[in-house]
């Protein structure tokens, strides 16, 4: 049977009812300042009230850099290891398969074509199997959702959506709905070990792992509960 599961580090995100990731200020439950980016990431429920443990936090710094766990100052996205990703997306199947046309969207938890409400999101796929920040990976070099993103990945081979959602005000750049979505590597295999440059591998495996950095900024006050993540792919 095919299934998709989600992990924060090595912790499965299924230990709370309706669980997912929550983005906070300096500690759990603390608000993120308006038009700033989160300082912490936790596993939590849909309302952000239950603490399921801290996850890796990757915070936007510039269109090509972020603050990541265990490294100061901010580093280029290509240098962030898979193991420091905000989220590990895992596809499993009883028989070995390859995957293609993998996409990640941010949506309002109701309709995958509608962007999240009241929050700006930027995403970068990490293709970096080393544990060292000194090694350059082959993932996204620019945050998806940033104003300078061209709509293709760092290899120029995977084309995502470069245009903001028509449901958002002009000038709003964010991963969301039928607007900007994030293409993910083809057939990365277990632990993303066979992803290569993201587009060349056609190997078949029982498990495929993707690693993404996710960063969020509120554009209005209040909790953001109309905020979800949607993954779609083909396997054969």
Report the alpha-carbon distance of residue 138 to residue 5 in Å, rounded.
24
- Report the C-alpha gap between 101 and 197 in whole angstroms: 15
Longest dimension (CA), the chain: 47
Token pair of 232 as six digits = 């779609």
Between CA 138 and CA 135 the distance in angstroms is 10
Structure tokens at 192: 């993303």
Query: Global pTM?
Result: 0.94
pLDDT at 134: 95
For residues 116 and 164, give the distance between their C-alpha atoms in angstroms, rounded to a whole number.
12
Range of the structural domain that residue 131 is part of: 3-235
Q: What is the count of structural domains for the chain? A: 1
Q: By CB neighbour count within 10 A (0-12 exposed, 13-18 middle, 19+ buried), where does 182 fall?
A: buried
**In the prediction, which pLDDT does 150 show?**
83
Residue 228, SS3 per DSSP? strand
pLDDT at 157: 62
DSSP E strand stretches across the chain: 3-8, 11-12, 20-24, 40-44, 59-62, 65-67, 75-76, 87-97, 99-107, 119-126, 182-184, 205-218, 228-235
Q: What is the per-residue pLDDT for 185?
A: 93
One pLDDT digit (tens) per residue for the chain, 236 residues: 899 999 999 999 976 667 799 999 999 999 999 999 999 999 998 888 999 999 999 999 999 999 998 888 999 999 999 999 999 999 999 999 999 999 999 999 999 999 999 999 999 999 999 999 999 999 999 999 998 888 877 655 667 777 788 888 888 889 999 889 999 999 999 999 988 878 878 889 999 999 999 999 999 999 999 999 999 999 99
Give the per-residue pLDDT at 213. Answer: 98
pLDDT at position 235 = 96
What pLDDT does 68 receive?
A: 97
């Amino acid at each position: 049977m095919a299934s998709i599961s989600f992990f924060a580090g090595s912790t499965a995100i299924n230990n709370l009812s309706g669980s997912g990731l929550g983005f906070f200020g300096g500690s759990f439950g603390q608000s993120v300042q308006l038009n700033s980016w989160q300082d912490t990431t936790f596993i939590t429920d849909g309302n952000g009230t239950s603490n399921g443990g801290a996850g890796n936090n990757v915070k936007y710094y510039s269109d090509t850099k972020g603050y990541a766990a265990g490294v100061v100052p901010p580093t280029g996205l290509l240098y962030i290891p898979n193991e420091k990703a905000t989220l590990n997306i895992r596809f499993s199947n009883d028989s070995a398969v390859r995957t293609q046309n993998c996409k990640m969207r941010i949506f309002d938890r109701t309709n995958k074509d509608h962007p999240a409400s009241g929050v700006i999101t930027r995403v970068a796929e990490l293709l970096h199997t080393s544990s060292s920040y000194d090694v350059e990976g082959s993932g996204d070099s620019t945050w998806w959702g940033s104003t300078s993103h061209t709509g293709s990945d760092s290899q120029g081979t995977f084309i995502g959506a470069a245009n903001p959602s028509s449901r958002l005000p002009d000038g709003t750049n964010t991963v969301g709905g039928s607007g900007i979505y994030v293409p993910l590597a083809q057939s990365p295999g277990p632990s993303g070990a066979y992803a290569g440059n993201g587009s060349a591998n056609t190997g078949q495996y029982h498990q495929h792992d993707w690693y993404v950095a996710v960063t969020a900024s509120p554009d209005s006050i209040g909790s953001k509960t109309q905020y979800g993540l949607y993954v779609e792919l083909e396997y054969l």
